[in-house]
Amino acid sequence: YSLAEKLPNVSPPNIIIMLMDDMGWGDLGVLGQPSKETPNLDEMAAQGMLFTNFYTANPLCSPSRAALLTGRLPVRNGFYTTNAHARNAFTPQEIVGGISKDEILLPQMLKKKGYVSKIVGKWHLGHRPQFLPLKNGFDEWFGSPNCHFGPFNSSFRPNIPVYNNSEMLGRYFEDFKINLKTGESNLTQMYLTEGLDFISRQAEAKQPFFLYWAADATHAPVYASKPFLGKSQRGRYGDAVMELDYSVGQILDKLQCLGIEENTFVFFTSDNGAALMSGPMEGGSNGPFLCGKETTFEGGMREPAIAWWPGHIKEGEVSLQPANVMDLFTTSLALAGIDPPDDRILDGLDLTPVLLNLSEKLENRPTFYYRGNELMAVRVGPYKAHYWTWSNSWEELKSGINFCPGEEVPGVTTHNQTEHTMQPLIFNLGRDPGEKYPLNVLSKEYQETLRRISPVVQEHQKTLTPGMPQLNMCDLAVMNWAPAGCEKLGKCLQPPESKPWKCSWPH
Amino acid sequence: YSLAEKLPNVSPPNIIIMLMDDMGWGDLGVLGQPSKETPNLDEMAAQGMLFTNFYTANPLCSPSRAALLTGRLPVRNGFYTTNAHARNAFTPQEIVGGISKDEILLPQMLKKKGYVSKIVGKWHLGHRPQFLPLKNGFDEWFGSPNCHFGPFNSSFRPNIPVYNNSEMLGRYFEDFKINLKTGESNLTQMYLTEGLDFISRQAEAKQPFFLYWAADATHAPVYASKPFLGKSQRGRYGDAVMELDYSVGQILDKLQCLGIEENTFVFFTSDNGAALMSGPMEGGSNGPFLCGKETTFEGGMREPAIAWWPGHIKEGEVSLQPANVMDLFTTSLALAGIDPPDDRILDGLDLTPVLLNLSEKLENRPTFYYRGNELMAVRVGPYKAHYWTWSNSWEELKSGINFCPGEEVPGVTTHNQTEHTMQPLIFNLGRDPGEKYPLNVLSKEYQETLRRISPVVQEHQKTLTPGMPQLNMCDLAVMNWAPAGCEKLGKCLQPPESKPWKCSWPH
Ligand SMILES: [Ca+2]
Ligand SMILES: [Ca+2]
């Protein structure tokens, strides 16, 4: 399949993926946030196609981002752990691993057609030198390898570096301020400027580009710049959303101002559901969906998603097509007229038939909900079958960590890992998007659905070859003590002796 | 205040209030229903003003409707019970009472300016002869005095009549079919036809009109006509929503086709939150809000609400103004240029300044959440204080009736009536619309909010004179045995001997 064949007069468009961090489905006005504070995103949806059944591949940052950039499930691309069953793993500073050199990332593929690629914002696919963006296909980078946690004291733990391309520019809380008390930071402004500059430069050079705009202001600790602080009805989290919404508007305006909007495909989404355990001050909304980040309920994995491409995508469309961040890999290749890699299994589909109304929707496309090494649930059509359920452990819950605050569906939001493989819990997400009413196992609907889903799961599991897990080992010696460029800045720190251990992933 | 003074060139517009039955805030696409199946309502919002903080005056049918038509809280207009504390009461067939003759209803007031008024659909303010619409200001009626429950066997309980004006036309399940198995019924079609006919006749007569379009297809047992059955992603409930959405579109189209859209004020809302105890097959969605019908949590009382008046209300506006069904009474009078009654307290405000962007919003307007004779909660600004909490009793819960399925906020969704008057639970609905995170009572925010809300509550309670409760007595003899017109149809039934008792209201 080649888009060029079907649309011969379309030249490969620029591609912009705007990936939010922990923003929830319900944070957009157009998706029911009562405060309706996202006029630019709502307008983007009105001018483009809104996906209401769009998913991430994993309910937390690192594996979700690895899936987006490889088009493959984390269990294939290695962004998971086998240290314990069904555990969420990511890339904190002490992680030894990162994106495998055997994986092919989207910017690497796009080079075949001369695309220049830039990532602005959070990387999160490993922070050791070989794992960084410029070693993995990106031509430019402004941002950070890890979350903006801190401040740290520099002896037991270094502050997270901010990079410009292959060298650090400084560190969070030292050179890049985040005021934890007031919530003030100019980072979103910087990310916006970096994005706009890149777009302008590429437009001037008349060179196709891929901009991966990965701002992280809605990840706790949430932040916003002064003009936005205190502006939201929703507190500081809402301020961050408003600044991101403003930034999205600025980026779309820039494309229009440069006259390249009809040659730029833009996609907006988020890496995982809202972090309800940080709510309400620093967590967003998952609308009508159950639970949030870290879980394989809809609140953890269903994402806001808007495609925008004036002149190509019809205005004001709503698509119910089940789609996925991994589709952005495959779809981007199709748009660029590049054949996807044929030496590996891809989980992403090409969404261009849906985007361009070229054909029927891809109705039966399954959605797989993984937590670490376990397939927790599967969606086929409107039906979702849970093979395993878990919110978090009783121990964590008792310590105050709650992924489902105010919600409790008996036998569903379990605090033990609960196996249902012999008799999965099945929900009809059409009439029960909140996963509150499991189908009666004796009903005809249940039996028919199980007969429909079971072969999909069997086929998936039979053919699945898990990748080498990259998120098993931790070591204090690998932290961001002395990133490239630290010498010039006098910012190098002395790493401790290497003492690797198997990382502990509590949920 | 007179609108005519402020807008001298506006003649009193026609008024259409479209009141849904048990439709939830989250059932509209524009308010975040993932299936996005309400294109006409979404378009109505795009052409008008969407209220995201709009409330009913009571979380169930009868008192909500009595409040809308009188502009007064049920505790004032008598639509409540004192048989037990904080109980929801309505007008089943065995109710003796109904709307008090001392109340003044909107159509009675509108007569002063020559309006002709019609109610299409469900009345629910009492079914005994003196309580019916044509005795209370309406000129025309097509519909039913009670809910479309049934079928009944005619010896212990008559089927509910359907009236045309002051005489019955037949009975549900006998002459007006509702197929409980398939969900098929043509009632919404009939209500649509009745509404359209009335509009056309009034337009032709060039006489101002008030149409109160009170379709009830989303009240269990939900129904839709054949063309809509099976069309929704959401099952039968969604089919009913789609047919109502279609009907709304037809009504707005008719106004435009007749060229009277700039002289017709249309308001769409619902009488109470979605009935979660009937979900997911026969209940809707309250979006991100807590619990549903019968409760004073946001899910029970926050309603979808759209104002539409081309040429007067700016397109695509969103108002965060806390507003209420009771405001429709006061606002309608203002639009008609009629002074409101000055011999009684009105709880409704005139929303025209908000609708027409004439002034600042009415920020500090309190919202009172009553359950029966008890003030359960108050909202002032973004803050809501609960003085009493109750979902339903343990007994009811154990019998399978659940007003908050899948939701449990400790100490909030209580199954005992729990008093918090000494230390109310306070939520910030801006950042916590789902009422999941009560403010810490030791926080400055809690203390300041309490100081702001307490005098509002004291003033309200000090000045409140409860009306005579109308919903205390029941009697099998008062049921719809022999409605006016039954003789002609051979549909009269023999009432049993009168044996009144104090109605039992379990929740
Ligand atoms: Ca994230
Ligand atoms: Ca109702």
pLDDT digits (tens, 9 = 90+) for A428-439: 999 999 999 999
Give how far A484 is from chain B: nearest CA, Å: 41
- Contact yes or no for A35 and B50 at CB 8 A: no
Per-residue pLDDT of A14-63, as tens digits, reads 999 999 999 999 999 999 999 999 999 999 999 999 999 999 999 999 99
Give the H/E segment covering residue A331: helix A325-336
- Please determine, for residue A206, whether its predicted confidence score (pLDDT) is greater than 60: yes
Min distance A31 CA to chain B CA atoms (Å): 4
Q: At A398, give phi and psi (nearest 5°).
A: -65, -25
Per-residue pLDDT tens digits for A305-349: 999 999 999 999 999 999 999 999 999 999 999 999 999 999 999
Please determine, for residue A300, whether its predicted confidence score (pLDDT) is greater than 80: yes
Query: Helix or strand or coil: residue B312?
Result: coil
- β-sheet bridge partners, residue A367: A379
Largest CA distance in chain A: 69
Residue B10: the pLDDT is 65
**pLDDT for position A227:** 98
CA of B214 to the centre of ligand 2 (A): 10
Residue A194's pLDDT is 98
Whether the per-residue pLDDT at B421 is higher than 70: the answer is yes
Does the pLDDT at position B60 exceed 60?
yes
Q: What band does A358 get if pLDDT is binned at 50, 70 and 90?
A: confident
Measured CA distances, A342 to A338, A345, A484, B159 (Å): 12, 8, 35, 68
For tokens 């205190």, name the residue: A230
Q: Indicate the average pLDDT of chain B.
A: 96
Nearest CA distance, A149 vs chain B (angstrom): 23
- Select from B388, B385, B390 the least CA-distant residue to B404: B390
Which residue, among B417, B418, B411, has the nearest Cα to B506 in the 3D structure? B417
Give residue A111's pLDDT. 98
Q: What is the mean pLDDT of residues B171-200?
A: 98
pLDDT level of residue B11 (50, 70, 90 thresholds)? confident
Q: In this model, does residue A1 exceed pLDDT 50?
A: no
Secondary structure of residue A379 in the 3-state scheme = strand
- For residue B3, pLDDT over 80 is answered with no
Taking only the tens place, the pLDDT of each residue in B129-172 is: 999 999 999 999 999 999 999 999 999 999 999 999 999 999 99
Could you give the C-alpha distances from A480 to A128, A146, B407, in angstroms and in order?
Answer: 8, 10, 42
pLDDT tens-digit profile of B278-317? Answer: 999 999 999 999 999 999 999 999 999 999 999 999 999 9
- Nearest ligand, measured from the Cα of A274: 1
Model pLDDT, residue A7 = 58
Q: Which residue of A has its CA nearest to B27?
A: A32
What's the rounded mean pLDDT across residues A385-412?
97
Q: B118: Cβ–Cβ under 8 A, 6 or more apart, which residues?
A: B138, B139, B140, B141, B142, B194, B198, B209, B210, B211, B212
Confidence check: pLDDT of B30 > 50: yes
Nearest to B434 among A35, A237, A406 (CB): A406
Give the pLDDT confidence of A23-35 residue by residue, as tens digits.
999 999 999 999 9
Tell me how close the Cα of A351 comes to any Cα of chain B, in angstroms.
Answer: 19
> What is the rounded distance in angstroms from the CA atom of residue A288 to the CA atom of residue A321?
18
**Token pair for residue A449?**
């659905």
Separation of alpha carbons A476 and A498, rounded Å: 7
Contact A110, A117 (CB under 8 A): yes
How far is Cα A3 from Cα A10, in angstroms, rounded to an integer?
8
Residues of A in contact with B31 (CB under 8 A): 32
- Report the separation in Å between the CA atom of B59 and the middle of ligand 2, taken as the mean of its atom positions: 8
Q: What is the pLDDT of residues A190-204, one digit of tens each?
A: 999 999 999 999 999
Residue A2 pLDDT > 70: no
Nearest to A234 among B31, B34, B431 (CB): B431
Q: Do B430 and A238 touch (CB under 8 A)?
A: yes
Q: What is the pLDDT of residue B358?
A: 78
Q: How far is the CA of A286 from the centre of ligand 1 (A)?
A: 13
pLDDT at B1: 45
- Tell me how far the alpha carbon of residue B505 lies from the centroid of ligand 2, in angstroms: 16
Tell me how many residue pairs between chain A and chain B have CB atoms under 8 A apart. Answer: 129
Identify the nearest ligand to the CA of A301 by its number: 1
Is the entire prediction scored with pTM above 0.90?
A: yes
> Is the Cβ pair A409, B409 closer than 8 Å?
no
The C-alpha of A431 sits at a distance from chain B's nearest C-alpha, in angstroms, of: 4
Query: Does A29 sit within 8 Å of B35, measured CB to CB?
Result: no
A435 to chain B: closest CA residue: B406
* Tokens representing residue A315 in the block: 């205005």
Report the percent of chain B where pLDDT is more than 90.
96
First to last CA, chain A: 41
| Residues of B whose CB is below 8 A from A224 | none
Q: What is the ipTM of this complex?
A: 0.95
Distance B171 CA to ligand 1 centre (A): 57
Predicted pLDDT of residue A362: 76
- Residues of B with a catalytic annotation lie at 61, 124
Cis peptide before A322 (omega within 30 of 0): no
**pLDDT tens per residue across span B233-282:** 999 999 999 999 999 999 999 999 999 999 999 999 999 999 999 999 99
Nearest residue of A to residue B45, measured between CA atoms: A30
Q: Which residues contact A101 (CB under 8 A, 6 or more apart)?
A: A130
Contacts of A274 in chain B (CB under 8 A): none
Q: How far is the CA of B277 from the centre of ligand 2 (A)?
A: 13
C-alpha R_g of chain A? 22
Please spell the DSSP secondary structure of A88-114, one letter per residue.
-----TTB---S-TTS--HHHHHGGGT
Whether residue B87 is predicted with pLDDT greater than 90 in this model: the reply is yes
Q: How far is residue B32's CA from residue B22's CA, in Å, rounded to a whole number?
A: 17
